[in-house]
Each structure stands twice: as C-alpha cells, then as structure tokens.
Amino acid sequence: MNARILTTATILTAFAGVLTARAADSQLVALVMPDAKVIAGVNVDQAKASPFGQYVLGQMQSNDVQQLTALTGFDPTRDVHELLVASNGTAASRHENGLALARGSFDISRITAAASAHGAATEIYHGVTIIEDPKKTHGLAFLDTTLVVAGDLANVKAAIDRPTTGTTIPTALAVQVNQWSSAQDAWVISAVPPYTLHPPLSAPGIPGVGPNAQNAFGKIEQAAAGVKLGALVVVTAQAQADTAQDATTMGDALKLLANLALMQAGQQNPQLAALVQSLAVTTQGNLLKVTFSLPEDQLQQLVKPPHQSRSEHRPAVRHM
C-alpha cells in the first residue's frame, strides 16, 4: 500500500475534486476565516443528480481513490454532500494556506487509525483530534461524524476555535455567498481583484483586442461565477469593474473574442461553436454579466479527454 494515499494533500485533493441548489450550509460558512477573500462551494448532492455531474464524479475513480476507499471506507464521490473552500487570497498564502470544509459521512475512527498506521501524526487540540502531515504544516480534523475541516494547521485550529470566538466573514461577503449558493450548484466568489490572486509576469497580448480593453480587464474589483447543472448546463459570471466605461470596454472585447473563437471553431468543433453562440454579454453600470450554456451531452463531449474521444471513434477490430 502506498502511504501517500493517506496524506493530507491526497484527502484534500479528493474533497476538492468534487470542486462541484440550496444555500450553502450555514455551519460550514460560520467556520470560514473572517479575513476570507475567495470562497467557492459545490452542492455535491445536486451535482450527483445530473448526468454531467455523474460524469465528472466518474472521472475521479483513480487507483488512489479506490485504495483510499478500501482502506478507510471513505469514498469522496459517495460520502461528501457539500464542499466549501476558502482562502484569504494573499499571494504569500494562496498555495499553502486556506480551508476546505466538507459535510458528509465519515468513519472517524477508521480513517484516523488508517492514517496513523501509515505514518500520519496526530494531535489533540481542544478535544479534537487533528491528523497532520509529517512536517506538521497541514492537517484535517473531524468536528463530528458529518463535518470535516482541512488546511494549513493554523487555519484548522482557528476553525476549531471559531464557534467560541464568534468571528465570521463580513456581512457583504456572506450575502454574496447566500445569493450564489442558492442559485448555483457550483460557484466561486472573489472579493478582491482576480489578478492579485495570480499576477502574471507579463500580460500577454490578445489578438484583435486593443490595449484599452486589456487594461480594463485589469481593473476588475470583484468577480463571481457559478454553474447550474441539468439537461442544459448554464454558466453565469459577473465582474465589478472600476467604472461603467471599463465594464462596457470589457463587454465589447468579450464579444470580439467570441466572434474570433466562432470563426476558428467552424465545423471542426461544433460543441465549442454552439457554446460560443450561446454567449450573452450585458452591462449594467460598472457590472459586466456573462452567461453561456450547452446541453450536458455536448458539454461532456467538449471536455472529454482527447484519448477517450479517439477510442470511442476507433473502428472495432475484427478477429478472424
């Protein structure tokens, strides 16, 4: 048995992979760090009810996940009902710090025993057992049999303390979380300019788009997006620009890019062409709103790995 399947990183990856409506679980939201700037969530149960959600979950059945399930009884595609991830969005911590919180069904004793048997460290913090990586930088803790929190150790411990400290995310951000999670099956909210989360070394030029439009994209103050699953998969995005003119400039640039993409797709990629044709771009003051949609069967073909698509069209070999 490869011990790495029981590391915190692997379990976090298992949770994040089902990073796919009802409002977000209030108890999960209450555990998010008060300085959170980026929050994303997935209503996994709702995703499971859609064909595309079932397809995405099916792609998670790797050997590591299967071994994890055999050893601990935990199957992320079956036992996780809702997922919430959060970060304070700072450049120094975006790769190391943050929280992943999940509502589901967990056999705590079996998971803890299996992790300990394969080298994981444990710590009792305020009556809660934290399973930690060997370097004691990250960990996960089961607050009860239905709630787990994982991330860097400082944030995990702060989440354990949060019910007694009473610290919560800002009201304005909580309102956005409620709005997007109530309407979407998977969603993400950034309360800071997106470029600050992963600043490029140099902004690449966009063919056919002038420098004013490119600069306008750098003036997005906040952004959010969500996906509603069903027979028709609908993606909705919204960006708050610095000014109404910036929003209009970005909208015009997106329309131009859509036309260029449609010309390139042509008959070679009918699914992509249909996706681009569904694009709707509107502005309201300094808000830019974008929606596009595609039937779930066409979207599945669009995102399917090339080797799968080739194998489906490969002629059957006849044995003489």
pLDDT of 12 over the 70 cut: no
Q: What is the pLDDT of residue 117?
A: 85
pLDDT digits (tens, 9 = 90+) for 112-155: 888 888 888 999 999 999 999 888 899 999 999 999 999 999 99
pLDDT of 310 over the 50 cut: no
Which tokens go with 228? 């509603």
Alpha carbon distance 95, 83 (integer Å): 19
pLDDT digits (tens, 9 = 90+) for 53-112: 777 777 766 666 666 667 667 777 788 899 999 998 765 444 557 899 999 999 898 888
Alpha carbon distance 95, 139 (integer Å): 15
Residue 29 lies in a domain: yes
Residue 315 lies in a domain: no
- The pTM of the full predicted model, rounded to 2 decimals, is 0.80
Q: Are 101 and 31 in contact (CB under 8 A)?
A: yes
Contacts of 223 (CB under 8 A, 6+ apart): 189, 190, 194, 237, 238, 239, 240
- 92 and 52 in a common domain: yes
Q: What is the pLDDT of residue 94?
A: 47
Lowest mean pLDDT among 17-21, 28-32, 227-231, 302-306: 17-21
Q: Name the domain boundary from 147, 165, 183.
A: 165
User: Could you tell me the residue range of the domain that residue 83 belongs to?
Assistant: 3-165
- 60 and 11 in a common domain: yes
Total structural domains within the chain? 2
Q: What is the pLDDT of residue 63?
A: 64
Q: Are 72 and 105 in contact (CB under 8 A)?
A: no
pLDDT digits (tens, 9 = 90+) for 177-217: 999 999 999 999 999 888 776 655 444 455 555 555 556 77
